[in-house]
Amino acid sequence: MVLGGGGFVGGAIMRALTEAGFAAFAAHRHPVGGPAAAGVCDATDPVVVRNTLLGAGCVVNAVLGDAASMLAATRNITAAASMLGLRRVVHLSSMAVYGPTVGLVQESAKLIGGRSYADAKIACEAASGADAIILRPGIVYGPGGEQWAGRIGRLLRAGRLGDLGEAGDGRCNLIHARDVGAAVVAALARPGLEGRIFNLSTPAPPRWNQVFFAFGRAIGAVPVARVAAWRLMVEGRVLTPLLHLAKIGGMSARLPAAMPRSLLALFGQDIMLDYHMADQALGFARTADADGLGECAAWFLRRYGKPRR
Amino acid sequence: MCRLVFAQIWQATTVIVDASNIADGTKLPADLCIIGAGVAGIAVALEFEHSRISVLLLEAGGVKEAAATQAFYDGDVIDRSLHPPLTRYRRCALGGSSGIWGGRCVPFDPIDFEARPWVPRSGWPLRYEDLLPYYKRASWLCEAGEFAYSADEAFPDGMPAILSRFRGRHFTDTTLERFSCPTNFGMRYRKRLLAARNITVLLRASAVELDEGGDGQSVAEVSVATLGGLRFSVQPRYVVLAAGGLEVPRLLLASRRQQPAGIGNAHDQVGRCYMSHIAGTIGKVSLPAAFGRPCHGYRTSDDGTYCRRRFALTADAQQRLGVGNFIARLHHPAPRDPSHRTGVLSALFFARPAIRFEYALRLHGHGKLSARDWLRHLCNVAFDLPDTCRFAWHWLRDHSLAERKFPSVIVRPKGGQYSVDFHAEQAPNPQSRVTLGTKRDALGMPKLVVDWRVTPLDMRTVREALAALKADFSQTGCATLEYDPDEVEACALRYGAYGGHHIGTARMSASPQDGVVDAQCRVHGMDNLFIAGSAVFPTSSQANPTLTIAALALRLADGLKRDLSVKLGCC
């Protein structure tokens, strides 16, 4: 049972599980179509979670939401899994738990968090039970991924992203959604992994500036603009709060994407997830970055059309 | 106590430290000590970021240029008409001379690495192909975009030729020069240096001597001094000397505790073969109206980099003519001469006092202008006011306020006549050299004496190449180039050693008899001393040196990583 299986990452996990021969079912807060749909599931409701997990052998927690919802869902899943005696619990965490750490980061590194999402993910890890297998993916991207393909592409086309200079020197710890699915399959299938934690990332993460150039060129957002530091400051400190206010005021329909300061900080964060443990224990094959970005570009062009010259 | 102070600094979160915080007499341990935080030094340091190698990057200047530290560079020039003062074209500060460079990035050509019988002492102990992977990385590091230095590679959809229908027998117009922002390495990479806990940058820390160990084959200590009177030392496993083409021989020659001639100078090679480039602007290029307008300006490539074609003397032509490497650009006429009738150029001439010395050199001239010429300049501006205002706006928007700056002034002269701007290779000449003088700087270091000389081959390169360009133009009929052959030498030497390119003073060679460092940039006969920078170039090419400096530094760092991984079991 994949809770949150109707989302972008959850969907990729579902496909990987199905291809690997698992009898996989997806539950989501919104209705999910298809033969594998297990119905609507409000993961913040312990009874609903327990009922959803009845008869399942393993559960994957891919629930996303606000901090309180994610924590409540994790607690409910942990409790239900324990009560129902599920064989495996795989919990999808995030590299955000490392906070502003830089350099090569192993799974044993101190969890710093610092922002609400990161703190929530740390709390979820703590609540996920001693036997849960925790996956900490980097930037989960792929065709259909609005967050790291659609949004980035639109910002590149608008000239709001591009060559960010030192602000784009951070490492982009890419991991294709398909590879996250493959990692989940391995986590469920391989013995003796209970209680272990794995970073999921490309072995040689490119810098964000490189990603912006490669993706920008692939979607025709050229020449890739040099974005001045002052413009990024305006994005983070002025435009984003204004967009947030407009969203609160119900004007979210056609608003441009915001670039909050946390996102801008990520572009400059020189963090490299150590991928070796996942390689050794999970042994899944990864999509090459160039291939993955190419897939995203093809999807983006289908979704948003070719650039106007 | 001293070690304790340093340990505290080492563990501090901010690892850019002013050397005045180091206690007198301290001995600082480091796996790798890099002397000089310019392009080469920072390129090497960044290769070790977040590794287990402790890196100490010594910079004689501060974060910004200051008169007191800039004065370290002062020295004597034998012929002041041929070489600028030693404090010019160099910058003693974090980032080094990348704080004042123009950003032009060009790789050396394959022929530059070959031994050419017609160029004495030519030939590198490495091939172009050996450097190619590092060029690719260096181009990004310099923020000059992809390593696409031909029009076909950079612009697969086509890039207009400089002159339509140009097909030269001697020259090609397919190669490009690409432009960095221009990137000040100190400002651009300061955040990464700060974030790397294993890298410590010591500012206002001048290396004044390299002390060899008992075996005379390795540097055991680097003596460091500050203007505040402090003296301390670094005890490194490896040393990379990346202080620039003039400071490198100075430090080697001044380090004579065990070897009286200086380190690496057993065969009297340090400081010899000092090269720059021969550059100038000459002649009148007229373009027939039927051939349309020339495209001598910049195009932006996909990565946002400004790119420009130029006329490059082919390798075959160099061999056929028996000359060095040479390139030329279609250029506006000299701004000083008001006959160009172009308001922008006259305005530039008026603005020359506000332009930095290094870039205003060509705007100045010999002798006084007549009152009539001043009046003509004023008339040029007045009658060409709309274009002048448009240019001012373009310059403000695309150069002054832009992070990626429009590289240079591109105008279409009203008179329709252009000139040729050339940049030529200077051949290695052992008599062109830098030595230590008797004067000393504020830290007691001997000052340099520069005796820069040109050879008949250098002049022949310019003469023959210009004649070949003229022939290529007239053969296709796309332009006519007129110049006085008797003025070529004067024109080539008008700006002397051009552009602050300090090359060849610790040249690379296969054998210690012919140079100072080997193909790995390791000083001949020394185990742990390496040199990064243009000092090691055996020949100067037509290309500006920065891209090759960065590429060689990256290659050197790769070699060091291999050495360190064997010796220390890390990296």
Write the CATH number for A212. Answer: 3.40.50.720
Confidence check: pLDDT of A34 > 70: no
Which of A308, A41, A37, A12 is CA-nearest to residue A185?
A: A12
Inter-chain residue contact B191 with A229, CB threshold 8 Å: no
- pLDDT score recorded for residue B357: 76
Structural domains of chain A, count: 1
DSSP-assigned beta bridge partners for residue A88: A58
Q: Do B404 and A104 touch (CB under 8 A)?
A: no
In this structure, of A164-173, A245-254, A263-272, B262-271, the range with the lowest mean pLDDT score is: A245-254
What Rg do the C-alpha atoms of chain A give, in angstroms?
19
Is A113 a residue whose pLDDT tops 90?
Answer: no
Listed as own residue / partner, the contacts of A185-189 with beta carbons closer than 8 Å and 24 or more positions apart are: A185/A16, A185/A17, A185/A20, A185/A22, A185/A284, A186/A281, A186/A282, A186/A283, A186/A284, A187/A88, A187/A90, A187/A133, A187/A135, A187/A282, A188/A17, A188/A22, A188/A58, A188/A60, A188/A88, A188/A90, A189/A20
Q: Is residue A61 part of a domain?
A: no
Confidence check: pLDDT of A104 > 90: yes
Q: Which pLDDT belongs to residue A129? A: 87
* Residues of A in Cβ contact (< 8 Å) with B303: 163, 213, 217, 222-224
* Distant-in-sequence, close-in-space partners of A230: CB < 8 Å, separation ≥ 6: none
Which of A228, A270, A272 is facing B403, going by the closest CB pair? A228
Cα gap B454→B498, rounded to integer Å: 12
Minimum Cα–Cα distance from A218: chain B residue: B302
**Given CB atoms, is B137 within the 8 Å cutoff of chain A?**
no
Whether the model clears a pTM of 0.80, i.e. scores above it, the answer is yes
pLDDT at B15: 66
The domain defined by B2-133+182-275+430-452+500-568 folds into: FAD/NAD(P)-binding domain (3.50.50)
Q: Do B50 and A226 touch (CB under 8 A)?
A: no
Higher pLDDT, residue B554 or A40: B554
What pLDDT does B6 receive?
44
From first to last of the 571 residues of chain B, give the pLDDT tens digit: 444 444 444 444 446 789 999 999 999 999 999 999 999 999 999 999 999 999 999 999 999 999 999 999 999 999 999 999 999 999 999 999 999 999 999 999 999 999 999 999 999 999 999 999 999 999 999 999 999 999 999 999 999 999 988 989 999 999 999 999 999 999 999 999 998 999 999 999 999 999 998 788 999 999 999 999 999 999 999 999 999 999 999 999 999 998 999 999 999 999 999 999 999 999 999 998 777 789 999 999 999 999 999 999 999 999 999 999 999 999 999 888 899 899 999 999 998 888 877 777 777 766 788 999 999 999 999 999 999 999 999 999 999 999 999 999 999 888 788 999 999 999 999 999 999 999 999 999 999 999 999 999 999 999 999 999 999 999 988 999 999 999 999 999 988 887 789 999 999 999 999 999 999 999 999 999 999 999 999 999 999 999 999 999 999 999 999 998 887 776 5
Residue B503's CB is within 10 A of a number of other CB atoms, namely 26
Q: What is the ipTM of this complex?
A: 0.88
Name which of B222, B261, B123, B110 is nearest B530 in CA terms.
Answer: B222
Residue A17 located in a structural domain:
no
Give the nearest partner residue to B404 out of A104, A213, A226, using CB atoms.
A226
For position B206, what pLDDT does the model report?
A: 98
pLDDT tens digits along A42-81: 889 999 999 999 999 999 999 999 999 999 999 999 999 9
Residues of chain A neighbouring B159 (CB-CB closer than 8 A): none
Task: Confirm whether A144 is domain-assigned.
Answer: yes
Q: Domain range spanning residue A208?
A: 87-304
Please determine, for residue A31, whether its predicted confidence score (pLDDT) is greater than 90: no
Q: What is the pLDDT of residue A252?
A: 66
Residues of B in contact with A227 (CB under 8 A): 403
List chain B domain ranges: 2-133+182-275+430-452+500-568, 149-173+281-428+454-493
Question: Which residues on adjacent β-strands are paired with residue B34?
Answer: B57, B240
Q: Does B356 touch chain A (CB under 8 A)?
A: no
Q: What is the pLDDT of residue A202?
A: 96
In the predicted model, what is the mean pLDDT of residues A214-235? 95
In Å, how far is B101's CA from the nearest CA of chain A?
A: 18
Partners of B406 on chain A (C-beta within 8 Å) are none
Chain B residues whose beta carbon lies within 8 Å of the beta carbon of residue A103: 50, 195-197
- Whether A225 has a pLDDT exceeding 60, the answer reads yes
Model pLDDT, residue B214: 78
| pLDDT value at residue A309 | 59
Q: For A165, which of B196, B300, B403 is closest by C-beta distance?
A: B403
The confidence band for A40, taking pLDDT boundaries of 50, 70 and 90, is confident
